[in-house]
Amino acid sequence: MTTLWPRLEPLLPRVSKPARYIGCEDGMQQPTVGSHLTSWLLAYPDTYEIGLPNQGLQILYELLNERPDASAERTYAPWIDLEAEMRAVGLPLFSVDTHRAAGEFDVIAFNLSAELVYTNVLNCIDLAGLDVRAARRNDDDPLIGAGGHCAYNPEPLADFVDFFVIGDGEEVVSEITEAVGAWKRTGKRPGTRATILRDLSGIEGVYVPAMYDVAYDGPALAAVTPKHPDVPALVAKRTVADLAEWPYPRRQLVPVTEVVHDRLSVEVFRGCTRGCRFCQAGMITRPVRERPAAQVREMVRAGLERSGYDEVSLMSLSTADYSGIAELVRDTVAGGNITAGASDTDGASNTATADANRISVSLPSMRVDAFTVDVAAQVSRARRTGLTFAPEAGSWRLRQIINKLITEEDLYGAVRSAYSQGWHRMKLYFLTGLPSEMDPDTEAIAHLADACTRIGQEYTKRASVTVSLGGFVPKPHTPFQWFGQNPPAELARKVRLVRSALGRNRRVQLKWHDPAASTAEGIASRGDRRVGAVIEYVWRKGGTFQEWSERFDLGLWEEAMAACGLSLDWYVHRHRGEHEVLPWDHIGAGLHRDFLWHDWQDALAGHGLPDCRWTPCYDCGACTEYGIEHMVASPVAPNGGSQGTGQDLATGHLVPVELRPRQMAGAGAPSGDGA
């Protein structure tokens, strides 16, 4: 077990951004290396600056290194310039912590945040010196694992990955560590790899593709069935019931070079029950589990003090829904002053630095109906962070269909709040190619954007809006999983429609996601096991970093589909029927299939669905199947009003939710009400 640093170091002066490969982060663990430890290499299959901030990876990194029987290091996909240098001198993939070779680890576990990174997963396995095909790997080779949201349809990577983790990883990594540790102690003898794989398949939430037979009926998938009686027919996701028991990361990695989210991140809740029908994250992470406010405050305070950051992101799928969000933002912004004043004996210097010490708060995924003047004013007291609102669809009709029940008044209210508090530009995010979308719906995007800039002009001459337009890709485990994705030409036409509807409006800047990339994403999103050959083909032809527009090539994907005898229309553009076997039917996200189907039918009928956090349960399956409940601090929606549900939520106290006690004993203390 030797470090590869002496071989890597001479290559670094020749590559771009060499700081990607040195580690050296504040918060980097010093993993002990030893044959008695199960060693994990946590891999993010994209560049360092995109992968480093990933919270899931950082949480597991800490949890594993806290275990006496495990160690964990990290790796990221080397950019093409370093990859060429590495291949030229035979240098394998390495960890950034101790620069050990990837092949020396017991487990290499990939985070799958997006489908277009799949070719990078293969490239990393290959750079580790391993066969990309799981069936051809040796008994004592590292086990290849994968988790993250894309693991909810594991089939496209089933031929390359030994095991997938479905759902929250906090608990299951320990169980995997113990199983792999036991196997390691027996010496990983020849012929025993099948045994450890079978053992892993017995762990709840772990899917081992090699333990399943796949049958086809012509182009259609017939069944995915377990090979052995002890292998589960349905692999159900793992869910941690109480976030209060997991105050991680405690020591967030602070990188020494610029990364995409270079700030402190504190997860305020997990799960979302807004019920937006296009949103996979909202469907698969149910129910809502809020972190106690006292613990959030302590994590923010300790995190800022330790890291030296002056900006914190309060993370969740919809942060404005957090109970007591306005107070939390106010206290967080003031945090710099509080800490500065707490132990200082000299008042004069405090006053002088007070403004500069303010903490900037960024609120990702801010719902427009919750961005009140109050919240805007709190956020704007520090440096104004970028502001993005996501109406998702241009017309009220279409927003009812996708169940994003934001009225125009909601949007204009939020926009007015922002402009009145000093912002002069904001970003509006829309999807196009949504089910039943017609040209007036698409053109309404331009009208909304134009109306927003008119409001802005009441406050500033510089008022402008950036419209960001993404092509809709249907995702597994959502009500839209049966919908046929728009072909790239249709998506491109809709982009042109918005552009011409905007005319010469110079206050609106239009940006759009490449429709061709949405098509490739669609192949992997709802693909079955046969798509693995397509991914391998694209990878072998050099198609890595497909998330990067300068590297993306739809022609390569089309060529691969043709070479594998697969139809793009069949996989991407075709509507699915109610009884079709879907490639992810043997993976359980907790949602009843008939709930999803009925919600899909309701969508087409234009019926909305309320947020079950504050209104009665409609039994989607996420709670009832697991015997868990929402865990929120207040039965009443923050900020009052309809909260984008189109309903009167004043009677929220009638809702059967698990309530957190208002006072928490202290951060990190397990909550007494969690069971």
Give contact residues for another protein (rule: CB under 8 A). 5, 12-13, 18-19, 21-26, 254, 256-258, 262, 305-310, 339-340, 343-346, 348-349, 352-353, 355-356, 383-384, 422
Q: Which residues pair with 508 in a beta bridge?
A: 465
Give the nearest distance from C-beta 386 to another protein in angstroms: 12
Q: Which is nearer to another protein, 91 or 623 (CB)?
A: 91
- Contact 290/339 with Cβ under 8 angstroms? no
Give the nearest distance from C-beta 465 to another protein in angstroms: 18
Give the nearest distance from C-beta 98 to another protein in angstroms: 11
Q: Which is nearer to another protein, 359 or 405 (CB)?
A: 359
Q: How far apart are CA 434 and CA 346, in angstroms?
A: 59
Q: Which is nearer to another protein, 220 or 352 (CB)?
A: 352
The DSSP letter of residue 254 is: B
Give the nearest distance from C-beta 63 to another protein in angstroms: 24
Long-range own/partner contacts, residues 231-236 (CB < 8 A, 24 or more apart): 231/198, 231/201, 231/202, 232/201, 233/586, 234/586, 234/587, 234/588, 235/166, 235/205, 235/206, 235/207, 235/586, 235/587, 235/588, 236/166, 236/204, 236/205, 236/588, 236/590, 236/625
Q: Which is nearer to another protein, 99 or 149 (CB)?
A: 99
Q: Which is nearer to another protein, 124 or 304 (CB)?
A: 304
Give the nearest distance from C-beta 414 to another protein in angstroms: 20
Q: Which is nearer to another protein, 266 or 406 (CB)?
A: 266
- Contact 402/276 with Cβ under 8 angstroms? yes
To the nearest 10 degrees (0 to 180), the angle between helices 515-525 and 531-540 is 130
Residue 487: what residue type?
Answer: P
The three-state secondary structure class of 251 is coil
Q: How far apart are CA 620 and CA 615, in angstroms?
A: 13
Q: Which is nearer to another protein, 383 or 493 (CB)?
A: 383
Residue 466: name the closest of 479, 453, 476 by CA: 453
Tokens at 65, concatenated: 């290194």
- Contact 329/362 with Cβ under 8 angstroms? no
Q: How far apart are CA 545 and CA 548, in angstroms?
A: 6
The DSSP letter of residue 569 is: I
Q: How far apart are CA 336 and CA 469, in angstroms?
A: 37
Give the nearest distance from C-beta 19 to another protein in angstroms: 4
Q: Which residues pair with 73 in a beta bridge?
A: 41
Q: Which is nearer to another protein, 349 or 567 (CB)?
A: 349
Q: CB within 8 A of 513, min separation 6: which ones?
A: 468, 469, 470, 471
Give the nearest distance from C-beta 305 to another protein in angstroms: 7
Q: CB within 8 A of 34, min separation 6: which ones?
A: 71
Give the nearest distance from C-beta 312 to another protein in angstroms: 13
Give the nearest distance from C-beta 353 to another protein in angstroms: 5
Give the nearest distance from C-beta 420 to another protein in angstroms: 15
How many Cβ atoms are within 10 Å of 477's Cβ, its own excluded?
21
Asked, as a colleague might, if the bond just before 53 is cis with ω within 30 of 0, I would say: no
Q: Which is nearer to another protein, 262 or 585 (CB)?
A: 262
Q: Which is nearer to another protein, 376 or 587 (CB)?
A: 376
In degrees, rounded to 5, the angle at the alpha carbon of residue 625 between the alpha carbons of residues 619 and 630 is 65
Give the nearest distance from C-beta 298 to another protein in angstroms: 18
- Contact 467/430 with Cβ under 8 angstroms? yes
Give the nearest distance from C-beta 415 to another protein in angstroms: 19
Q: Which is nearer to another protein, 253 or 637 (CB)?
A: 253
Give the nearest distance from C-beta 256 to another protein in angstroms: 5
Q: Which is nearer to another protein, 220 or 256 (CB)?
A: 256
Tokens at 442, concatenated: 């698409």
Q: How far apart are CA 469 and CA 430, in angstroms?
A: 5
Q: Which is nearer to another protein, 253 or 268 (CB)?
A: 253
Give the nearest distance from C-beta 605 to another protein in angstroms: 47
Q: Which is nearer to another protein, 208 or 333 (CB)?
A: 333
Give the CA distances from residue 88 to residues 19, 46, 57, 81, 323, in Å, rounded to whole numbers and listed in that order. Answer: 21, 21, 30, 11, 55
